[in-house]
Amino acid sequence: MDRIKMINPVVEMDGDEMTRILWQDIKDQLILPFVDLKSLYFDLGLPERDRTDDQVTYDAAEAIKKYGVGVKCATITANTQRKEEYNLKQLLPSPNATLRAALDGTVFRAPIVVNGIDPSVSCWKRPIVIARHAYGDVYTAVEHRVEGPGLAELVFTAEDGTETRKPIFRFEGPGILQAMHNHDASIYSFARACFQYALSEKLELWFATKDTISKIYDHRFKDIFNEVYENEFKEQFEAAGITYFYTLIDDALARIIRSEGGFLLATKNYDGDILSDLISRAFGSLAMMTSVLVSPDGKYEYEAAHGTVTKHYYRYLKGEKTSSNPVATIYAWTGGLRKRGELDNLPDLVKFADDMEAAVIRTISSGIMTGDIAALYDGEATQVTSTEFLAAIRKSYEDNL
């Protein structure tokens, strides 16, 4: 059988621990037998990041900017415990944070829905996708511990030296302070990425903040979304038969719980952080959640939403067979290859990605699955190891050819 040819490469970023093992198995079992893979390989595993003082991460980010499509394995974010475990020179920042900053992106997280694994919320029939603004707010805030009485003020010094001061609070005793920011350019990018994604997936778009309380900060987000919609996307949305609406974050959550799903909810950084874990768990497992970082100029980075599954890796090192779920990592590969196929006009590559995802869904629907979802499955489930699961997916794909 001829393998599917590619024109441009995908940027391949290897990772750590159990997901690094799965990464290689997925390539060997599900990709390389069928695709004449063109990839630019960057080893983002912790030892190589440490050895290169993180240069490899910056190089990978530049390569995504150049080639437009990346696929990433989960990676360890170093902490003091990892420093000892891996005998590291330093504590480097999270690769995901570095890539997000480089691509100025928005992260979209969508659950993979399978019959028999019912959402905890019984009225949800279709996926709920979360878009998270990946810049600023509390993640880049400056904090201060107030030790005793005094006046806190917000001071802005313009380039020409003009100062604007606003009193924050007159402390009578000890307390805490926090200052956060965002900037218009990043919010415009966020808004455009959301409208673009909703359009390409034909999903209704909801955007929610707390502008009634935050009359300048959150209100700016609301105004920018509105402006971008009216000026750039309204006609395209109407033509596609989808709608955009803004509502308060508390109202949005109250509506979600009674909805049927099937929409994109855009949120600020913190709201998206906490909501994406909640939504993914309610749909099943972290390993059944896709994640893609989209930059305003149309660069894409696909990954799984979960981490390196450390506990399973330690069991694997002891020689035990693990039942770690490779689905989100497979979807990172199929997502990246599908996008590459769309950009390079390669229908066979697009079809490969569609067919491989269909094989994953068929395999699970036939009752063969890993432990994390077997526990949730409404029916007779056969729990298999990761290796057996990948073999079953390959067989289902080949049987369908």
Nearest to 300 by CA among 61, 42, 31: 61
Q: Which of 6, 99, 256, 309 binds ligand NAP (CB under 6 A)?
A: 309
Residue 273 touches which member of ligand NAP, Mg ion, none, C-beta under 5-8 Å by kind: Mg ion
Work out whether 276 is an interface residue with ligand NAP (CB under 6 A): no
Work out whether 306 is an interface residue with ligand NAP (CB under 6 A): yes
Residue 369 touches which member of Mg ion, ligand NAP, none, C-beta under 5-8 Å by kind: none
Residues 69-88 interacting with ligand NAP (rule: CB under 6 A): 74-77
- Report in angstroms how near the CB of residue 286 gets to ligand NAP at its nearest: 5
- Report in angstroms how near the CB of residue 274 gets to Mg ion at its nearest: 7
- In the chain, the amino acid numbered 184 is D
- Give the integer Cα–Cα distance in Å for 309 and 322: 11
Residue 103 touches which member of Mg ion, ligand NAP, none, C-beta under 5-8 Å by kind: none
Beta bridge partners of 194: none
- Report in angstroms how near the CB of residue 106 gets to Mg ion at its nearest: 15
**Rg, the chain, Cα only:** 23
Work out whether 387 is an interface residue with ligand NAP (CB under 6 A): no
- Report in angstroms how near the CB of residue 273 gets to Mg ion at its nearest: 4
Residue 18 vs 346, nearer CB to ligand NAP: 18
Span of 184-192, 256-264, 306-314, 346-354 interacting with ligand NAP by CB under 6 A: 306-314
- Report in angstroms how near the CB of residue 119 gets to ligand NAP at its nearest: 18
Residues 271-290 interacting with Mg ion (rule: CB under 5 A): 273
Residues 319-358 interacting with ligand NAP (rule: CB under 6 A): 324-325
Residue 96 vs 290, nearer CB to ligand NAP: 96
Residues 93-152 interacting with ligand NAP (rule: CB under 6 A): 96
- Report in angstroms how near the CB of residue 339 gets to Mg ion at its nearest: 25
Residue 144 touches which member of Mg ion, ligand NAP, none, C-beta under 5-8 Å by kind: none
Residue with the shortest CB distance to ligand NAP? 307
The three-point CA angle 109-312-129 to 5° equals 10
Name the site residues for Mg ion (rule: CB under 5 A). 273
Name the site residues for ligand NAP (rule: CB under 6 A). 74-77, 96, 286-287, 303, 306-311, 324-325, 372
